[in-house]
Structure 1
Amino acid sequence: MVAISLRKARTIVRKALEKGRELELKPLSVVVLDAGGHVQAFEREDGASPGRFDIARGKAYGAVMLGMSGSAQLARAEQQAFFMAAMNGAFGGKVVPVPGGVLVRDGKGAVIGAVGVTGDTSDNDALAAMAGIEGAGLTGEA
């Protein structure tokens, strides 16, 4: 299995933040998790609230642990709220099931981690996450 290296994780963070500046988004926070849900890299822009780490991590954590993007989690929550509530309970309340949690896949389609972005609208967070992933030469699933 290919892992997200520290160099790639830092590139994802940098490119996601660059996209946020390009789009004039509110201050962003970006986390990159490996396939086991462990933090590989994190940055919080000046002006971002201190709670943004937990939100970004929750978006990415739900994506990697459930194998579905934040958008897919939101759709699932809307269709089966009990399922997502149960999953959030199973993961100790760490799942934030909204866009901005993006799966990262290798060239063969295997999940190698996830990115969580927070700070602006969830859809804009997802755009920034995808820009970071693509900027690192990887494939994202928003």
Structure 2
Amino acid sequence: MELDIQTARRIIAVALETGQARAMKPLSVVVLDAGGHPIAFERADGASPGRFEIARGKAYGAVMLGMGGRAQAERAAVGPTFMAAVNGAFGGRLVPVPGGVLVRDQGGRVIGAVGVTGDTSDNDAVAALAGIESVGLTGEA
């Protein structure tokens, strides 16, 4: 299975609904394909305009490094030089914190990533996982 526009839109809708249901601050959500290219993005009313780049950076780090944002943050804490070098190699496009969630298909293959921003990083990850799980895929936060 590949991520298509309809699946991406459903992930986004559920992530935004999850944010509203849990009284989170306005969220922004992006879905990237396995190559790190945006499939879809949506910003809730009231979300700040710079949120696209943050959401994309969270998801981009997940798909490019093959690890969720939480694992990236842990790696950065123990090896900040490595993470800084990797971020430099990717033109500063990584945001290595929770909220960047790797998406795997039923066979465990990486097919993309979801980036959510707007609330705490942990809450962002909760919303991303809800969206991913709603379409029968597995998220790795």
TM-score range, shorter chain: over 0.9
Offset, 1:3: 1.1
Secondary structure at 2:127 match in 1: helix
Offset, 1:38: 0.3
Secondary structure at 1:120 match in 2: coil
Q: What TM-score, normalized by structure 2, do the two folds share?
A: 0.99
| Gaps in structure 1 of 5+ consecutive residues | none
Secondary structure at 1:112 match in 2: strand
CA distance in 1, matches of 2:102, 2:57: 13
2:87 counterpart letter in structure 1: N
| Gaps in structure 2 of 5+ consecutive residues | none
1:27 equivalent in structure 2: 26
Offset, 1:136: 1.4
1:63 equivalent in structure 2: 62
Give me the identity figure in percent: 72
Please list every run of at least 4 consecutive aligned residues from structure 1 whose deviation after the TM superposition is greater than 6 angstroms.
Answer: none
1:49-60 mapped onto 2 (5 Å cutoff): 49-60=48-59
1:109-120 mapped onto 2 (5 Å cutoff): 109-120=108-119
Secondary structure at 2:88 match in 1: helix
2:71 equivalent in structure 1: 72
1:29-108 mapped onto 2 (5 Å cutoff): 29-108=28-107
Q: Alpha carbon RMSD of aligned pairs, Å?
A: 0.5
Offset, 1:20: 0.2
1:83 counterpart letter in structure 2: F
